[in-house]
Amino acid sequence: MNADTMGPTLEKRRTIVHPNGQSTAYFYDSYADPWKDNETILIQHGFARTADHFYHWVPALARQYNVIRRDLRGHGGSSYPRPDQAYNYSVTTILEEIRDTLDQLGITRVHFIGESTSGMLAVAFAATYPDRLSSITLCSSPMYLPPAGQQFLAFGEESWPTALRKLGTRGWAERIAASPGTMAVDDPGYRKWWMNRVCSSDSEGLAGYAEFLSRFDARPYVDGVRAPMLILAPTKSAVLSAESVRELAARVPTATVEFIEASGHEIYYEAADTCLATLLRFLSQIGNSSTGTT
């Protein structure tokens, strides 16, 4: 079997369509005892990655929880608005699509895991729809992208979205993968697989989402978070400082911080075992006070 075709593929995804006409692709995995009222975990990957990139989190989580891995707007198998389509690319719209995903799947509450910039979504969702959350976990997550961060992602072009349009998905991904403090994994097999999965997203879809992220600031939502929060913070990220992590935790009374030793930003892979062990301890402390499905 060709190694490039092994593992999760787009064909295995399920798809739902939102009232605004956009579609969301997702994986659903559960090996939990079916007669129990099992809680649900929603994993939302970060920019340019896909639900595929969290394949290795499923075995550790799905024996106890229902696990949904959802593709972001414009990523993987999820659609993105074309120029001739009316679409309000706003925080409100993105949060409504996440809520609608849960509604269509019959899920009342979730443990929301947001990786990288999707931690910003987790915080905004927690403040906007507190009744839909049992907890939130942030993994390598800033609360906004300052000009220096956006300049880093632009690789010398006028802007981050412009870089995606000029370089294309593969060209941009090659630049980010070669930058210190980002992927930081030497295994050539993984790097090739990672690249192929990133390239399942069209550059225009990524550029549109980058434009959205460039405007998105989750800091105003932080004080509205009431759910238990776990912060998994990398020690050597190119875009996230320890100081900003501590500032965030100081604003959220329910927050617990764990600094994860790793060489780069993508601790979800490089330090997966540590992240998962910490997450499972956190979830076990919360207990089973909320139900997973309706």
Give the CATH number, domain containing residue 254.
3.40.50.1820
Residue 292 within any structural domain of the chain:
no
Indicate the SS3 state at residue 235: coil
Contact criterion met (CB below 8 Å) for 172 and 203: yes
pLDDT confidence of residue 84 = 86
pLDDT confidence of residue 71 = 99
Residue 179 within any structural domain of the chain:
yes
Q: Which amino acid is at 131?
A: D
Total domain count for the chain? 1
Q: Which residues of the chain have pLDDT under 50?
A: 1-9, 288-294
Residue 4 within any structural domain of the chain:
no
Contact criterion met (CB below 8 Å) for 192 and 61: no
pLDDT confidence of residue 83 = 84
Task: In whole angstroms, give the CA distance from residue 171 to residue 177.
Answer: 10
Given phi > 0 = left and psi -120 to 50 = alpha, else beta, which region is 103? alpha
pLDDT confidence of residue 293 = 45
pLDDT digits (tens, 9 = 90+) for 29-81: 999 999 999 999 999 999 999 999 999 999 999 999 999 999 999 999 999 99
Residue 5 within any structural domain of the chain:
no
Residue 2 within any structural domain of the chain:
no
Residue 291 within any structural domain of the chain:
no
- DSSP H/E element including 231: strand 229-234
**How many CB atoms sit inside 10 A of residue 41's CB?**
27
Indicate the SS3 state at residue 255: strand
pLDDT confidence of residue 235 = 95
Residue 255 within any structural domain of the chain:
yes
Residue 257 domain boundaries: 11-286
pLDDT confidence of residue 7 = 47
pLDDT confidence of residue 289 = 47
Residue 98: is it exposed, middle or buried by C-beta count within 10 angstroms (0-12/13-18/19+)? buried
pLDDT confidence of residue 290 = 46
CA-wise closest residue to 156 among 146, 170, 166, 145: 166
Would you state the structure tokens that stand for residue 283, as one six-digit string? Answer: 């979830």
Question: What is the DSSP secondary-structure string of 169-182?
Answer: HHHHHHHHHTSTTS
Residue 1 within any structural domain of the chain:
no
Task: In whole angstroms, give the CA distance from residue 95 to residue 91.
Answer: 6
Contact criterion met (CB below 8 Å) for 143 and 123: yes
